Amino acid sequence: MATLSNRTMTRWSAVALACAALLAACGGGDDSPATTGPLALKTLDGSAPVVVAHRGASGYLPEHTLEAYTLAIDLGADVVEPDLIATKDGVLIARHDPNLDYSTNVASRPEFAARKKTTQVDGETQTGWFASDFTLAEIKTLGAITTDAERATVYNGAFKVVTFQEIIDLVKAKSAAKGRTIAIYPETKNPTYHRALGLPLEDTLIAQLVAAGWNSKTAPVYVQSFEPSSLKTLRSKGLNTRLIQLIDADDVDLKTGALTFAAPYDRPYDWFKAGDTRLFSAMVTPAGLAEIKTYADGIGPWKPYIVPVKGTLDATGAVKDLNGDGKVNWADATTQTPTTLIADAHKAGLFVHAYTFRNEQRRLAYDYRGDPKAEYLQFYRLGLDGLFSDFADTAIAARRDYLTETGR
């Protein structure tokens, strides 16, 4: 964990207090059950949907840091999510990308300037500094930065990159201190890429989960990947935790409302390497869901697979700037009739955890009227089993409102 100055600690404490106050203020109505009894929830097992802190409290602090995970737990998150990549010496660390330029201050470090290079990551040409060229000790000298330029940058460089083991230790300590079980949701990130470097993620992940005593379906662990072969490898090598197949797309065509598919977000990279020409969209068909059920327990789709969005067209066929901000983007789209994906997945015996929910108005469809809780409530009412959020406090407040309206 980073050593913080008094000034930084004061700022971080202020963020935590403000978030806690927000969580308390958004509690919703009476918690007493309705006189006719609570309504049945539409989740696969009838339980309340789980809230996964996406990369920690990443809406407030630089993602994938011990401080972001701690804040997320303090805000009430049920689960924390680390994306896992490997260092040169084979240590699993929490970063979304192998390219450290995206989420650390490595570019400002002259001693590492010579390690800048251009390489391929899942078929995409990238230039930067890559974790596989750094030891853990070297990476620990770097500071994490926000990956969203429109979020606060005041904490950039204040917090260090965290290892998977440090997250395991934090979750265990926080579970004991708070008297509630906090789960962990690691993702094997770019597993084909890492395997080609001689740094397979799966073996190390299994060893650490086994050592933690977390190798069963009832363990507080979900393991996810976009690549089916990674999940299959984990299962074949003895991992017994719940496994989740992630399902991506490139974008949404706001003129038609259709999902678009462009590399590297068109298909799992292991499918591409194997010559499998199917797109991610094949996974949400009945046949695709049945195939996933043979090696996984749930799916993690991008949320437009569940609630599509579409722009409103003017007389010329152009998408209207509904909010009048001079830009045409997601905030000008309106939600469409939900698909049957949740029901179809449940029929196949798979739970559904959708991603990623955020508070910023630029990320909310126009008809949510700038209220992120409106989006959460729509998905909860559809029977979603869980979701990934950058703002766990808002997700939990909306869940409390949802449970109240169902008589809980």
- Nearest-angstrom CA–CA distance, 98 and 214: 26
Tokens of 16: 């935590």
54 is catalytic: yes
Catalytic residue among 54, 64, 194, 346: 54
Give alpha helix (H) positions in 75-196.
136-139, 164-178, 191-196
- Nearest-angstrom CA–CA distance, 104 and 389: 22
Percent over 70 (pLDDT), the chain: 91
The average pLDDT across 358-377 equals: 97
pLDDT surpassing 60 at residue 12: no
Q: What confidence category does residue 18 fall into, taking pLDDT thresholds of 50, 70 and 90? A: very low
> Which of these, 179, 229, 224, 259, lies nearest to 81 by C-alpha position?
224
Question: Per residue in 168-214, pLDDT tens?
Answer: 999 999 999 999 999 999 999 999 999 999 999 999 999 999 999 99
Tokens of 163: 């290892």
Question: Per residue in 141-166, pLDDT tens?
Answer: 999 999 998 999 999 999 999 999 99
**Helix-strand-coil split of the chain, %, nearest 5:** 35, 20, 45
How does DSSP classify residue 265?
S
Tokens of 287: 């046949």
Cα torsion at 174, 23, 382, 249 (round to 10°)?
-70
353 is catalytic: no
Catalytic residue among 64, 96, 346, 353: 96
Question: Per residue in 216-239, pLDDT tens?
Answer: 999 999 999 999 999 999 999 999
Question: Are the beta carbons of 235 and 244 closer than 8 angstroms?
Answer: no
pLDDT surpassing 60 at residue 16: no
pLDDT for the residue 30: 44
pLDDT surpassing 50 at residue 72: yes
pLDDT for the residue 37: 83
Task: Please state the pTM of the whole predicted model.
Answer: 0.91
Give the N- to C-terminal CA distance of the chain in Å, as an integer: 39
